[in-house]
Amino acid sequence: MNLHVLFPLIFFITITVSCSKEENKTTQIEGTLIRVNHYKEDCVGLIEQECFLVQQEDAIGSDNWTFFYDDIVGFTFIAGFIYDLDVKIEERNPIPQDIGKYRYTLIKVISKTPIN
């Protein structure tokens, strides 16, 4: 086979294989602390829904709560409790349409405190 044909063919195959592997990489953040408030609030993202109110990392213990539009895989919310959760965060790559950029998975419920 002629080198003028073989070299571009090998180059094309190498680029194609390396690009397809790159698309499926995910970034993971292990052990992120999230506090979930004892109730949900109505919110609007892509649709009207009920959102968790959360604090993350340095904001925990402050008066600032933010809407959390996603689910936490493996977490069952019961109103009336404040939860401290250890959560794994994975970046979806490629990002599916109409779904958040990150996937949240429960590692462990650190605490579940009732509200009186």
Number of domains in the chain: 1
- Res. 100 pLDDT band, cuts 50 70 90: confident
C-alpha R_g of the chain: 21
82 in any annotated domain? yes
Question: What pLDDT is recorded for position 15?
Answer: 44
* Residue 14 lies inside a defined structural domain of this protein: no
Examine residue 105 and state whether it is found in any structural domain, yes or no. Answer: yes
Residue 2 inside a domain? The answer is no
The helix (H) or strand (E) run that includes residue 9 is: helix 3-23
Residue whose pair of structure tokens reads 């950029």 in the numeric block: 101
| Higher-pLDDT residue of 18, 33 | 33
In a domain, 79, yes or no: yes
- The verdict on residue 77 lying in a domain is yes
Q: What tokens were used for 46?
A: 């892509």
- Predicted pLDDT at 85: 97
Asked if 38 and 66 touch (Cβ cutoff 8 Å), the reply is no
pTM, two decimals, is 0.70
With respect to residue 109, please indicate whether it lies within any of the assigned structural domains: yes
Task: Name 16's bridge partners.
Answer: none
Distance separating alpha carbons of residues 1 and 16, to the nearest angstrom: 21
- Domain region containing 95: 26-114
For the chain, what percent of residues have pLDDT higher than 90? 50
